[in-house]
Amino acid sequence: MTPKVRFAPSPTGYIHIGNARTALLNWFYAKRNDGLFLLRLDDTDRERSKAEYAEAIVEDLKWLGIEPDETMRQSDRTDVYDAAAEKLKAAGRLYACYETPEELERKRKRLLGRGKPPVYDRAGLNLDAAEIAAFEAEGRKPHWRFLLKDRAVRWGDEVRGKQHIEAGSLSDPVLIRADGSYLYTLPSVLDDIDCKVTLVCRGEDHVTNTGVQIQLFDALDATPPAFAHHNLLTDASGAGLSKRMASLSLKNLRADGFEAMAVASLASIIGTSDPVAPHTSMGALADLFDFGKLSRAPARFDFQELEGLNAKLLHQLAFMHIEDRLAEVGVAGGEDFWNAVRGNLDKFSDVVIWWQVVSGEIVAGKENPDFLNRAAEFLPADPWNETTWGNWTKQVKDATGVKGRDLFHPLRLALTGKDRGPELSVLLPLIGRDKALRRLKD
């Protein structure tokens, strides 16, 4: 059977770097095993699922470099879920419950107050016809729970090793809400069966869900896929990530100018045994992939680490990888310009600032104007190359006696309008003699 994985986000918000980690690990597994990557939009939550979020998920994955082999929406498969629900009801594994949310909360608090786990008491199983009729007469609509078998569920996890869940310690999960809509569990299992998913790779917060879902696979006469539960990302303080953390959404990271490969590198390598370093291709990251490298401890995402990684990535990018993007932002300096400035970029957008320095007008700094006028007298004739800066400043030093910072800082400030930046030995020939002379004397 062809290996197949799925990334199954809910389109109820923008995906963040933690979600990206799950998507990347699944994509790498598919690539390393000549498999398929399915994007499944879990949009059974009618109120919170939005088309704009679904579109953003597709766009964010494409930005990362992930192109799904297949895409599906759960909202298109309601008939399939309905048929399976009827089968489970007929088998006595799906039963109706009529408690209101308030009543369930009171039960939960009572159990906790007595020092007991808040496990549902299966009151719905004991309702007789008269009680059901009375609830129906009140206008109550049932929610439906899956009857768990009181036994241990065991599986070999690709990340965590041997796992088991004592199903008897869990509440029977609600599969269908009172409004008739489906929660995550049943559609997820049915989709995995029908789409022939061979491995479910997701965060370790789903371990308990896996125990429930394996029983549901069994109830539907299906073989469960393999499972891999990876460690989670937290923020720098150790708190969990959520869709409400706008600054860490892929949408905002992209808008803030971060490189897709910097985000992909950090999201996939952090929390593994590999050193965090920028990679310029998804293929290179896929080559590193191995579930055995994943730590069991949560991995802390540090925004400053992403900033540093982003800069390192830009510093090592060859011109061939960036040529089209330079043209898109109106930078026409070619390979010489890129090589001159890339080591001073934190974000790609910084390149526009240095193109203005080289090709446009700037506000030249004036520190020691008399010295600048004197230095202008020694500007060599064209053509200029990378030796021009050294030869010129030596002449100025010999003629004026000015050296060190007093020599170099006024010249840099006048020529670029900046206190620091690329080596002037490579930048000066790009500025050219006419602009240099004008900036020194202006």
Q: Are residues 274 and 296 in the same domain?
A: yes
Average pLDDT over residues 202-214: 95
Phi, psi of 293 (to 5 degrees): -85, -10
Nearest to residue 322, comparing CAs of 338, 309, 346, 303? 338
Domain boundary among 176, 191, 207: 176
What average pLDDT does the chain have? Answer: 94
Q: Are residues 259 and 283 in the same domain?
A: yes
Checking if the pLDDT of 256 tops 70, the result is yes
Whether 211 maps to a domain, the answer reads no
Confidence bin at 279 (pLDDT 50/70/90): very high
Q: Are residues 146 and 169 in the same domain?
A: yes
Confidence bin at 365 (pLDDT 50/70/90): confident
Whether 310 maps to a domain, the answer reads yes
Beta strand extents in 204-321 (DSSP E only): 226-230, 233-234, 299-300
Whether 286 maps to a domain, the answer reads yes
Confidence bin at 442 (pLDDT 50/70/90): confident
- Residue 384 belongs to a domain with what CATH number? 1.10.10.350
Whether 221 maps to a domain, the answer reads no
Q: Are residues 133 and 154 in the same domain?
A: yes
Confidence bin at 248 (pLDDT 50/70/90): confident
Q: Are residues 10 and 61 in the same domain?
A: yes
Whether 288 maps to a domain, the answer reads yes
Q: Are residues 123 and 107 in the same domain?
A: yes
For residue 119, give both structure tokens: 């496990």
CB 122 within 8 A of CB 172: yes
Q: Are residues 374 and 398 in the same domain?
A: yes
Q: Give, to the nearest 10 degrees, the angle between helix 433-441 and helix 369-376.
A: 150
Task: Read off the pTM.
Answer: 0.90
How many structural domains does the chain have?
4
Whether 38 maps to a domain, the answer reads yes
Query: Residue 138 belongs to what domain range?
Result: 79-176
Q: Are residues 273 and 244 in the same domain?
A: yes
Q: Are residues 83 and 171 in the same domain?
A: yes
Task: Give the tens place of pLDDT for each residue, 72-112.
Answer: 999 999 999 999 999 999 999 999 999 999 999 999 999 99
Q: Are residues 154 and 84 in the same domain?
A: yes
Q: What is the model's pLDDT at position 245?
A: 60
Confidence bin at 244 (pLDDT 50/70/90): low
Domain boundary among 176, 194, 216: 176
Domain boundary among 134, 158, 176: 176
Task: Give the tens place of pLDDT for each residue, 395-436.
Answer: 999 999 999 999 999 999 999 999 999 999 999 999 999 999
Q: Are residues 160 and 118 in the same domain?
A: yes
3-class DSSP assignment, residue 163: strand
DSSP secondary structure letters along 167-204: GGGSPPPEEE-TTS-B-SHHHHHHHHHHTT--EEEEEG
Whether 192 maps to a domain, the answer reads no
For residue 135, give both structure tokens: 């609830």
Q: Are residues 99 and 170 in the same domain?
A: yes
Task: Give the tens place of pLDDT for each residue, 125-179.
Answer: 999 999 999 999 999 999 999 999 999 999 999 999 999 999 999 999 999 999 9
Whether 261 maps to a domain, the answer reads yes
Q: What percent of the chain has pLDDT over 90?
A: 89
Average pLDDT over residues 323-352: 95
